[in-house]
Amino acid sequence: MSLSNTPAPLGRGAAGPEEPTAALAEPTRKVTARWVTGLVLVNVGINAAFFGPINVFIGQQAISIDAPAKEAILSLVTACGAAVSLVANPLFGALSDRTTSRYGRRAPWVLAGAVLAAAALLAMSGAATVALMVLFWCLVQLGANAAYAAITAAVPDRVPVKQRGGVGGLAAMGQTLGILAGAVFGAAVSGNFMVGYWLCAAALLVSVLPYLFHRNDPALPKGKLPAFRPGEFVRGFWVSPRAYPDFAWAWLTRFLVNVGNQLTIVYLLFFLRDIIRHEDPAAGVLVLTGIYAVMVMVTAVVAGPWSDRVGRRKPFVIGSSITIAMAGAIMAFFPVWPGALAGAAVLGIGFGAYLAVDFALLTQVLPFAVDRGKDMGIINVANSLPQVVAPFLAFMAVAYGGGYRSLFVTAAVIGLLGAVFVVKIKSVR
């Protein structure tokens, strides 16, 4: 991976006097089914690596180390890892923007990130202390976010606007299949979290291969971007809300909806174990995740192309945000197994449509063509920052705020705020 350090005529957000290179041009040709399949599989692997541990294995590992402090350990580990992702995602996105490898800008980071995350998952399986859990989970987040930043930026790089809802829906399906795979691993290993981590590592490595072999990732020629200057590079991570208000509102709405979603699922294993008294909490997580996954995939693949056809994004995002909030209310006031089943279904219906259409909306408010990786990385902070905020809010709600009902009501209220602020976006219908 090499970074361009040579002055170039191409300015930030402008094409310059010559025809833009293929790596920087606005895409107009539809992507192939093979390319989309590779994109989907990368999303499967990354999300299996994220959510298998978050939903099952870190909790089981915490119980094995100190059962009475399991909530605090889970919150600490996941929050520290998410803090790393806050920096890693936009950083690797920005580095991929400037990468001049002959293999393309995004593919080298997908490969390197997957290898690092897989190695850290293997190390995580043997962690016997909280400190080692934190260290290795932070490395998992570092590698997985490098891969995720690159594969996310590949969509505005290669997919034309009129195809982005459909591709966003399929990417959301891949994310959901990854979450489901993590739950399947959790149920299959019967509490043996070490084997679970190994399965997640293997799934991640295998998942990136189809994309790497059929990446459609044009190389960025040396000299196409201005010289690399550390000060300008760091300042580039600030995108002024005053200058680009739609980008700011889109970021805020995604952050709020993801906080609401994370609050609903972060203590799911413990909710089933301690409140519902499910006889096999890990199997219960699998059932709920399966229902959620089916609903996400159905609504994502329907809502994404539908929004492409009608040329509208905001009504879908608003409706799906309200539906997500309804799931929190169901879990709050019906804390029984049928209520959990209904909550999982409603959450899946809302989040599937949201993932597909909001992703397409976000790609349409990016400020600069030359900074797609960095800007998508900043947007992805709205996915990872809730992993820092939500565990803290969840711990406070459960420990000091009245328990799980308070937790789920908070999730519903925050999700509704996300729906409210979507109307502030002006450049996208």
Q: Return the CATH number at 389.
A: 1.20.1250.20
Instruction: Yes or no: say if 355 and 43 are a contact pair by the CB < 8 Å rule.
Output: no
Residue 121's domain comprises 33-219+231-424
Could you read off the pLDDT tens digit of each residue along the chain, which spans 429 residues?
Answer: 444 433 333 344 443 434 457 777 888 889 999 999 999 999 999 999 998 998 889 999 999 999 888 888 998 998 899 889 889 989 999 999 989 898 999 999 999 999 999 999 999 999 999 999 999 999 999 999 999 999 999 999 999 988 988 998 899 889 888 988 888 898 888 789 999 999 999 999 999 999 999 888 888 888 777 777 777 778 878 888 888 999 999 999 989 988 988 888 878 888 898 899 998 887 888 889 889 889 988 998 899 889 888 888 888 899 888 998 999 999 999 999 999 999 999 999 998 898 888 888 888 888 877 788 888 888 888 877 887 788 788 888 888 888 889 999 999 998 888 888 888 888 887
Q: How far apart are CA 413 and CA 260, in angstroms?
A: 8
Measured in whole angstroms, the distance separating CA 147 from the mean position of its chain's CA atoms is: 11
Model pTM? 0.78
Q: Is residue 10 in some structural domain?
A: no
**Helix, coil or strand: residue 137:** helix
Question: So what's the pLDDT on residue 175?
Answer: 86
Question: So what's the pLDDT on residue 113?
Answer: 97
Q: Is residue 308 in some structural domain?
A: yes
Q: Is residue 1 in some structural domain?
A: no
Q: Is residue 64 in some structural domain?
A: yes
Question: So what's the pLDDT on residue 13?
Answer: 40
Q: How many domains does the chain have?
A: 1
Q: Is residue 13 in some structural domain?
A: no
Q: Is residue 22 in some structural domain?
A: no
Q: Is residue 26 in some structural domain?
A: no
Q: How far apart are CA 324 and CA 353, in angstroms?
A: 10
Task: Report, in angstroms and rounded to the nearest whole number, the Rg of the chain calculated over CA atoms.
Answer: 21
Q: How far apart are CA 190 and CA 164, in angstroms?
A: 39
* Helix, strand, coil shares, percent, the chain, to 5: 75, 0, 25
Question: So what's the pLDDT on residue 7?
Answer: 31
Collect all residues with Cβ–Cβ distance below 8 Å to 342 and sequence separation of at least 6. Answer: 330, 334
Six-digit token string for 409? 């009501």
Q: Is residue 23 in some structural domain?
A: no
- C-alpha dihedral sign at 91, 181, 345, 74: negative
10: left (phi over 0), alpha (psi -120 to 50) or beta: beta
